[in-house]
């Protein structure tokens, strides 16, 4: 692992350690509190060494049978949880990509909705009243297959890093998929040893479906029955997700906002800057740049609203 100080790299390790500690000892155990202190260490090298040392000790104790009784308790909890076949980890800003993935796997593998967790997509969210952190921590471990949607935005999401770190630390199936204008170089730290597939490449999306089908030992439906879902995913994944980023744009900038073609533009000399989502600006005064691609209607990937040109 490179110790360049990259936040995502360190967060993956820290999240893995914390989730394993909670799973083995319980959230209030003093040993869990010690693991939480890793985040307070000043230098990335210190955080890295502390995390790796903790994981080494845990693996040694598991190998020696020290946690066998606790493992039985954890196993019984897992067995009492309804089967979760697929967990799709993603940032809410990348919801259109996650939704397209759900639709693809439903058509290609005939997975029931109850066996898929995708927290930003209606019909696949957490149950009402559920303890979000507790249920996510449990489902990240018990899901048979795990897909991590990796984009420039998701690598800054604390929940995505939490989920990726927990899954990586558990040494279970983890399939990173890349979208939002990123490439394989975004897979740094613990993820760098994993082969990631690009969702903006049709051939790689087909490979993803085939690989997951084989891993789950789930029959793959005829390709013709889900070709449209593949094409939809490739299109959505090709959009630069930076358009959904809550970036450093200053809404108090002296440049005047003008409303044109159902969206906001910011006047900047001879060339206007935009377009921006009118819904997000009108509701909470945030400038969210729309995704604009040749031949497609401008869209806000944050709220999924389309902006037809007038």
Residue 118: count of CB within 10 angstroms of its CB = 23
**Domain shared by 175 and 217, yes or no:** yes
From residue 180, give the alpha-carbon distance in Å to each of 148, 235, 262.
13, 11, 24
Q: State the residue range of the domain holding 263.
A: 246-306
Q: Single out the residue in 48, 78, 108 at which a domain terminates.
A: 78
**Domain shared by 73 and 171, yes or no:** no
Task: Compute the distance between CA of residue 151 and CA of residue 171 in angstroms, rounded to an integer.
Answer: 22
CB 31 within 8 A of CB 38: no
**Domain shared by 114 and 170, yes or no:** yes
**Domain shared by 119 and 225, yes or no:** yes
- Indicate whether 43 belongs to any domain: yes
- Indicate whether 1 belongs to any domain: no
- Indicate whether 155 belongs to any domain: yes
**Domain shared by 105 and 234, yes or no:** yes
**Domain shared by 17 and 74, yes or no:** yes
In 3D, which of 153, 139, 168 has the Cα closest to residue 14? 168
The β-bridge partners of 116 are 86
Place of tokens 């990123």: 182
Residuewise pLDDT in 10s, the chain (310 residues): 443 335 555 666 777 788 778 777 877 888 888 988 888 888 877 887 888 788 778 767 766 666 655 554 444 443 434 578 999 999 888 899 999 999 999 999 999 898 999 999 999 999 888 888 888 888 898 899 999 999 888 887 878 888 888 888 888 899 999 998 777 888 877 788 889 999 999 999 999 999 999 999 999 999 999 999 999 999 888 874 434 443 434 445 545 777 787 788 887 667 777 888 887 777 666 778 887 765 677 878 777 777 776 6
| pTM flag (> 0.75) | no
């Amino acid at each position: 692992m490179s110790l360049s100080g990259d936040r995502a790299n360190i967060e993956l390790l820290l999240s893995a350690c914390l989730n394993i500690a909670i799973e083995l000892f319980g959230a209030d155990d003093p040993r869990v509190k010690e693991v939480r202190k890793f985040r307070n260490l000043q230098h990335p090298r210190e955080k890295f060494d502390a995390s790796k040392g903790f994981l080494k000790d845990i693996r040694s104790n598991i190998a020696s049978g020290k946690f066998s009784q606790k493992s039985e308790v954890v196993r019984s909890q897992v067995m009492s949880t309804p089967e979760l076949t697929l967990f799709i980890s993603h940032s809410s800003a990348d919801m259109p990509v996650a939704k397209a993935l759900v639709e693809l796997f439903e058509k290609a593998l005939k997975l029931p909705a109850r066996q898929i967790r995708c927290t930003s997509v209606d019909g696949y969210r957490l149950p009402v009243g559920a303890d979000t952190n507790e249920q996510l921590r449990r489902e990240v471990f018990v899901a048979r297959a795990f897909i991590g949607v990796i984009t420039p935005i998701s690598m800054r999401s604390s929940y995505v890093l939490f989920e990726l770190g927990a899954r990586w630390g558990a040494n279970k199936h983890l399939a990173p998929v890349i979208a939002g204008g990123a490439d394989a170089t975004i897979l740094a730290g613990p993820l760098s040893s994993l082969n990631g597939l690009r969702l903006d490449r049709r051939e790689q999306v087909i490979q993803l479906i085939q690989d997951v089908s084989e891993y789950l030992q789930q029959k793959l439906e005829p390709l013709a029955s889900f070709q449209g879902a593949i094409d939809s995913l490739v299109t959505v994944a090709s959009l630069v997700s930076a358009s959904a980023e809550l970036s450093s744009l200053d809404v108090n900038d002296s440049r005047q906002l003008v409303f044109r073609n159902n969206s906001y533009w910011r006047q900047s000399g001879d060339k206007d800057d935009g377009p921006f989502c009118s819904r997000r600006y009108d509701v909470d005064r945030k400038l969210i740049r729309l995704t604009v691609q040749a031949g497609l209607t401008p869209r806000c990937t944050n709220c999924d609203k389309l902006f037809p040109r007038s």
